[in-house]
Amino acid sequence: MQSQQAAASPPFHYGTVSIAGRPNVGKSTLLNILVDFKLSAVSPKPKTTRHKILGVLTGETYQVAFLDTPGLPYRRHDELDRRLLSSTLEALHEADLVVMVVEPKPPGEIEHRLIGELRRETRAAILAINKIDLVKKPELLPVMEAYARLYPFLEIVPISAVQQDGVDTLLDLIVRHLPEGEPLFSPDDVTDRPERFLAAELIREQVFNAYAQEVPYAVAVEIDVFQEQSEEHGGKDYISAILYVEKDSQ
């Protein structure tokens, strides 16, 4: 008796996904949870994310290249705001899919601006309503309806990134809407950033969390020394960093 032909393997999905939204909406927290790795600095202060940060997640049938973008600024006040805006718009242009992260409240000026960019780029997008742990469920329905009227989102998903509620559902929907394709990165890759960059992000996060108004948002971190130690030498890496601030008084 002839053996039955093996069932065809499911298609592999690959794509770039930009995570966009207003400052402090939870984009970096969401990225860190999705890839299960601390890539982006997280703090209560706006403008914490300064760069597009790539986070790669590989499963059996998919590979997603997430781009964590800076929060869309309220106004183009200074060079930093203009640079953050340029970085965000560049990431939207590169993406196969955009995950727009919002708070559980009606859309404001920033959300309208971002939806305007989505419409101009005609980008496929999923709406993730974050921080649902802070509101009652009946309050979500009018928010979902308001966004549905503004843009033809592929999906509208309520989540709580901090509590990891709904994140698995969001990931499943992201993969479902990605094109078929071969993986671009090795299965072991998590990011394209060097360890020095990740160390600088962690230090900058702790500066933001430890100091209130004393240190400006524009603080920058430069890794001066990065020495990896083997287990026989204690196993702890030695890192020395220089922090740049705007004024001598800081």
pLDDT of res. 230:
56
Residue 231 burial by CB count (10 A; 0-12/13-18/19+): exposed, middle or buried? exposed
Going from the C-alpha of 54 to that of each of 11, 30, 75, 178, the distances in angstroms are: 24, 13, 25, 17
The chain-wide mean pLDDT, for the chain, equals 80
pLDDT band of 93, cuts 50, 70, 90: confident
pLDDT of res. 3:
45
pLDDT of res. 37:
73
pLDDT of res. 69:
80
Concatenated DSSP letters for 148-170? HHHS--SEEEE-BTTTTBSHHHH
pLDDT of res. 45:
52
Q: Which residue has the higher pLDDT, 155 or 32?
A: 155
Residue-range domain boundaries for the chain? 13-176, 195-244
What topology is assigned to 13-176 in CATH?
Rossmann fold (3.40.50)
Residue 49 clears pLDDT 50, i.e. is over it: no
- List the structure tokens of 128: 């993730």
- List the structure tokens of 246: 């705007």
When mean pLDDT is compared across 25-34, 142-151, 160-169, the lowest value belongs to 25-34
Residue 139 clears pLDDT 90, i.e. is over it: yes
Residue 203 clears pLDDT 70, i.e. is over it: no
pLDDT of res. 243:
73
Residue 89 clears pLDDT 80, i.e. is over it: no
Distance CA 173, CA 125 (A): 11
When mean pLDDT is compared across 43-52, 79-88, 120-129, the lowest value belongs to 43-52
Residue 71 clears pLDDT 90, i.e. is over it: no
* DSSP single-letter state for residue 11: P
Distance CA 83, CA 73 (A): 10
- List the structure tokens of 102: 């919002």
Residue 124 clears pLDDT 50, i.e. is over it: yes
